[in-house]
Amino acid sequence: MALNLELNKDRYVKLLTNLIGEVEFLQNNPPRFVPQEDRAIKHLLEALKPYTKENGGPLKVEHVVYVEGRGNLIIEYTSEGAQGTVAFVGSHLDVVPANPETWDRNPFKLVVEGDKLYGRGTTDCLGHVAMITELFIQLAETKPKLKNSIVAVFIACEENTTIPGVGVDKLMECGKLDFLKDGPIYWVDSADSNPCMGTAAAAMWKMRAKGRLFHSGLPHKGINSLEFAMEAMAFIQKRFYEDFPAHAEESRYEFATPSTMKPTQICCSEGSINQLPPWTEIQGDIRLTPFYNVYECIEKVKGYVKELNDDPSQLPSRGPCSKYELDIPEGQFKAEIEFIFEGEPFKGIACKLDSKGFKRLHEATQEVLGESKPYSICGSLPLVGDLQEAGFDVQICGYGHSGVYHGDNEYCTLSHMVNALKILVAVINKYQE
C-alpha cells in the first residue's frame, strides 16, 4: 500500500520555531562566527525521542560528533526485510550570518506572516531539516512496511568549510555514508521545488597585490598597489574567460550562467589619503560548471599569476606616473602578486539524467505539482561531486526560495513545505513499485 502522509503543520512550525531560535549560535563565518550545531540537534533529538529504538520505537538515531558541539545526525527507518536505501542527505544545521540591522524582522526568531515563515535558515536549510524530521516522525507513527531503508543525514559545517573535519567530509572519510551506496542519495539543499540537475565547482581565492609605499605627491617614487590590483584582476579575469567559455552542455542542463571568476571583497593597508597603499587584498571565487575540471582551472590561474609576476610592466598603467616597475636612485622595485586558493575546492556535479534516481524525482515532482522544471545553478554543494565519483547516484532537490538565499528577510513558505513532504513521500513510493 502506498504511503499517504501529510505535513503536520503545527508540529512543523513548533520545531522550526525552536531551530530558528538557535540561529544566532548557528552562524558560520570563522573566526567571528563558529557555529554550535548541537544547539539545533538537541531540538531534533527531543522531537525524535519517543520514536527511537531506545524508547521502543522504530528509528535508529545516531548523533555523530567529530568536533565538540558540532554534531551531525543520522536517522534510519528500516522495515523487516528491507534491502538497500533511499537517503535524504545534505540538509545542514549551520547558516550564513545575518545582520539584524538590515532585516525588517528579527532574523533569530521565527516570524509567521500568513504562508510565509521568516528567519535566517528557513530556506537554507533549517526549513528542510524540520520537514524531513517530520517525515521520519510520521514513518515512526505509521510503521509502513517498505522495501528500502529510509535514511536522513543532517550535516554540520556546510556554509563555510575553512574548518575541516567537522561535517560531511569527515562522515565520508570515516565510512559513515558507505551503506548509502545501495540506493539513491537525494541531496536536499537547493530551492524552488524542482529537481536541480547540476551545480558548479567553487574555489575561493585571495590575491594580495604588493606595491611601494610613498607620498602621493611623488607618485613616480611609489607603486600604487590599489591600481596594480585592479589591472591584475582585469588581466586574470580576461584570461579566465578565454580559457573557460560557455560550454555546450550548459544549455542542455539549463544552467542559469556559465563559469565565472569575480572579486567580491577588497581591502588595502591603512594609511592617510596622501599615501600610496603598499598592499591591496582582493578576495573572491571561481564558479566552474561541472563540464570543466576545477583542479585544472586552478593550475591555469596560477599560470596567469606567474606571467604577471614575470613581467608586471605588461599591464596598462593609469597615467604617466603609474608604473609597476621602478628604477630610481633609491633602488629597483617591482610590483608582485601573491595568489592563494583557500581550502579544498568544492567539485561541481552534473547529475545523471538517465538514472532511476533522477527519473523518480522528476516524476514525483510532476505528480505533486502538476509539472516539473529541472534546472541547474552555479551555486555549489560540498562533496556531491566526490560522492558521484565514488559511485553514488546523487540527485539534488530543495523546497525553499532561491530569491532569498543568503539574503535579508529570508523566508520559506509553509505551502511549499507541505508539497515538499508529499514529493519525498512520492519518491519513496516509487521505490516500492
**Catalytic residue (choose from 24, 76, 124, 158):** 158
DSSP 332-366: EEE-EEEEEEEEEEEPPEE--TTSHHHHHHHHHHH
Are 121 and 15 spatial neighbours (Cβ–Cβ below 8 Å)? Answer: no
Q: Is residue 155 helix, strand or coil?
A: strand
CA–centroid distance for 419 within its chain: 23
Q: Give the residue carrying C-alpha cell 574548518.
A: 163
On whether the CB atoms of residues 186 and 361 are closer than 8 A, the answer is yes
Fill in the DSSP letter of residue 55: G
Question: Is 311 marked active-site?
Answer: no
Cα–Cα nearest to 220, from 337, 313, 336, 325: 325
| Catalytic option among 24, 38, 76, 94 | 94
* Cα–Cα dist 209/72, whole Å: 40
C-alpha 136/C-alpha 76 separation (Å) is 8
C-alpha cell at 247: 560550454
Q: Where are the alpha helices (DSSP H) in 3-125?
A: 9-20, 38-48
Q: Bridge-partner residues for 248, per DSSP?
A: none
Of 413, 426, 429, 299, nearest to 367 by C-alpha is 426
Residue 341: HSE in the Cβ half-sphere, 13 Å Cα cutoff: 18
Give catalytic status of residue 158 as yes or no.
Answer: yes
Contact 68, 82 (CB under 8 A): no
SS3 string, 190-204, reads CECCCCEEEECEEEE
Strands across the sheet containing 411-413: 111-113, 116-118, 411-413
Question: Does the bond joining 31 to the residue before it have cis omega, within 30 degrees of 0?
Answer: yes
Nearest to 346 by CA among 386, 375, 376: 386
* Catalytic residue IDs: 94, 158
